[in-house]
Copies of this chain bind each other. A is one copy, B any other.
Amino acid sequence: MSESPIQVSDPRGGADRAATERAEREAAEAGRPRGRGRALLGSGLGRNLGLVVALVLLCIVGAVSAGDRFTSTDNALTILRLAATLGVVSIGMTFVITGGGIDLSVGAILALSSVWATTLATQQMANDTHWLVMVGAALGVGAGCGLINGLLIAYGGVVPFIATLAMLASARGLAEIISNRRTQIVDVPAFRDFFGAEVIGVPVIVLLFVLVAIGGWVLLNRTTFGRRTLAVGGNPEAARLAGINVQRHTVYLYVLLGVCCGIAALILISRTSTGSSTHGTLLELDAIAAVVIGGTLLSGGRGTIAGTVLGVVIFTTLTNVFTLNNRSISEQSLLKGAIIVAAVLLQQRLASRSTST
């Protein structure tokens, strides 16, 4: 047995890297006080310190450069509304990646869900009966696609990358066929009223994001499901021999992510008042990036919802700050790359720093 079965996405840095990793891990371990409340705080701040610092820096840059156009509540809500779609998907993605998988089809599933939930027939039925029909359609389609992914991966033995790449192509193709490549406009007032509403000043879609985040945190950290996810991602063979049904659990993970895509589709439908086969283009890369920057191991076995949420918020805030300052897209993307690397390096340094104390 090699001490650290170094995986695909680990850097090939050999010893130094292995040492850093172990150091990080132990830092996380050591920095965690025993009490429950303090555990939350400790892990939140200790593990995600780099991300928090990056976000704070970003906010300072935003506040200095754009003044109260940046600091207004409205702007904060705008950022959160924008973050909602990516956020909900990324939280589902955190589970799949923690469980040792990956999903490239999230954007396509989102598109298919959005199209299916907004066909004339569905809207007709929604108007005749209840707008929840649309919700059911979106979640059902998401879950169905996730189920196919999960079955192919867990029982068909197709590697996740390929299975979900195939789903990407197929789901988007199907979405185009169903919608005839047209943007489908939503004409179900009750639906739009519900999702467009605000509760004490907070838009429903932001609330949804918050609820999914809290639910995800509880599910990952406080339930047997979460514990199994960590086990399956950390060492699938050991998990299997410990009596966990690894295959079934893998299917659950992809279905969960599918449902998250369905929720994200509903958010996007409400925001744009349309369903379209172009929704969610390239969402997969953003979601995976947010999850990994957040600190979830791409090789599985360790996941953090708080980190993912921070990753998502950093991404959306970045775009917001750039737009407020009227920077060109090219500069944005040039800088985005540099900022991602800087954030990850910072995160590493801070994590290893906190060991020595």
Residues of A within 8 A of B (CB): 1-18, 20, 99-102, 104, 152-163, 165-174, 176-177, 181, 232, 235-240, 246-247, 249-250, 285, 288-289, 292-293, 298-300, 328-338, 340-341, 344-345, 348
| Residue from B5, B166, B340 in contact with A340 in the complex, judged by beta carbons closer than 8 Å | B166
Q: In the complex the two chains form, is A8's CB within 8 Å of B334's CB?
A: no
A103 → chain B, closest Cβ, in Å?
12
**Most interface-central of A1, A247, A348 (chain B CB within 10 A):** A247
12 A-B pairs with CB atoms under 8 Å apart are A12-B236, A13-B155, A14-B246, A159-B344, A161-B288, A162-B340, A163-B341, A166-B338, A166-B341, A167-B337, A169-B337, A174-B334
**Roughly how many angstroms separate A162 CA and B340 CA in the complex, as a whole number?**
8
A98 → chain B, closest Cβ, in Å?
11
A236 → chain B, closest Cβ, in Å?
5
**Roughly how many angstroms separate A62 CA and B75 CA in the complex, as a whole number?**
55
A160 → chain B, closest Cβ, in Å?
6
Q: In the complex the two chains form, is B169's CB within 8 Å of A13's CB?
A: no
Beyond A13-B155, A14-B237, A177-B334, 10 additional contacts (C-beta under 8 Å) are A1-B2, A2-B235, A20-B157, A158-B341, A161-B298, A166-B341, A170-B336, A173-B334, A174-B330, A176-B329
A173-B333, A232-B12 known; A237+B3 contact, CB < 8 A: yes
A8-B299, A250-B12 known; A173+B101 contact, CB < 8 A: no
Nearest B residue to A245, CB-CB: B14
Copies of this protein chain in the complex: 2
Q: In the complex the two chains form, is A299's CB within 8 Å of B7's CB?
A: yes
**Roughly how many angstroms separate A168 CA and B250 CA in the complex, as a whole number?**
30
Q: In the complex the two chains form, is A236's CB within 8 Å of B157's CB?
A: no
A288 → chain B, closest Cβ, in Å?
7
**Roughly how many angstroms separate A299 CA and B159 CA in the complex, as a whole number?**
10
Question: What residues of B have a CB within 8 angstroms of the CB of A336 in the complex?
Answer: 166, 169-170, 173
**Roughly how many angstroms separate A338 CA and B163 CA in the complex, as a whole number?**
10
Q: In the complex the two chains form, is A9's CB within 8 Å of B153's CB?
A: no
A12-B101, A158-B345, A159-B292 known; A333+B172 contact, CB < 8 A: yes
**Roughly how many angstroms separate A5 CA and B336 CA in the complex, as a whole number?**
34
**Roughly how many angstroms separate A231 CA and B335 CA in the complex, as a whole number?**
36
Give the 3 A-B CB pairs with smallest separation, nearest first: A170-B337, A173-B334, A173-B333
**Roughly how many angstroms separate A12 CA and B27 CA in the complex, as a whole number?**
29
Nearest B residue to A12, CB-CB: B250
**Roughly how many angstroms separate A161 CA and B296 CA in the complex, as a whole number?**
12
Question: What residues of B have a CB within 8 angstroms of the CB of A337 in the complex?
Answer: 165-171, 173
Question: What residues of B have a CB within 8 angstroms of the CB of A4 in the complex?
Answer: 237
A14-B240, A14-B246 known; A345+B156 contact, CB < 8 A: yes
Nearest B residue to A5, CB-CB: B5
Question: What residues of B have a CB within 8 angstroms of the CB of A154 in the complex?
Answer: 11-13
Q: In the complex the two chains form, is A177's CB within 8 Å of B298's CB?
A: no
Nearest B residue to A6, CB-CB: B236
Nearest B residue to A299, CB-CB: B8
A278 → chain B, closest Cβ, in Å?
12
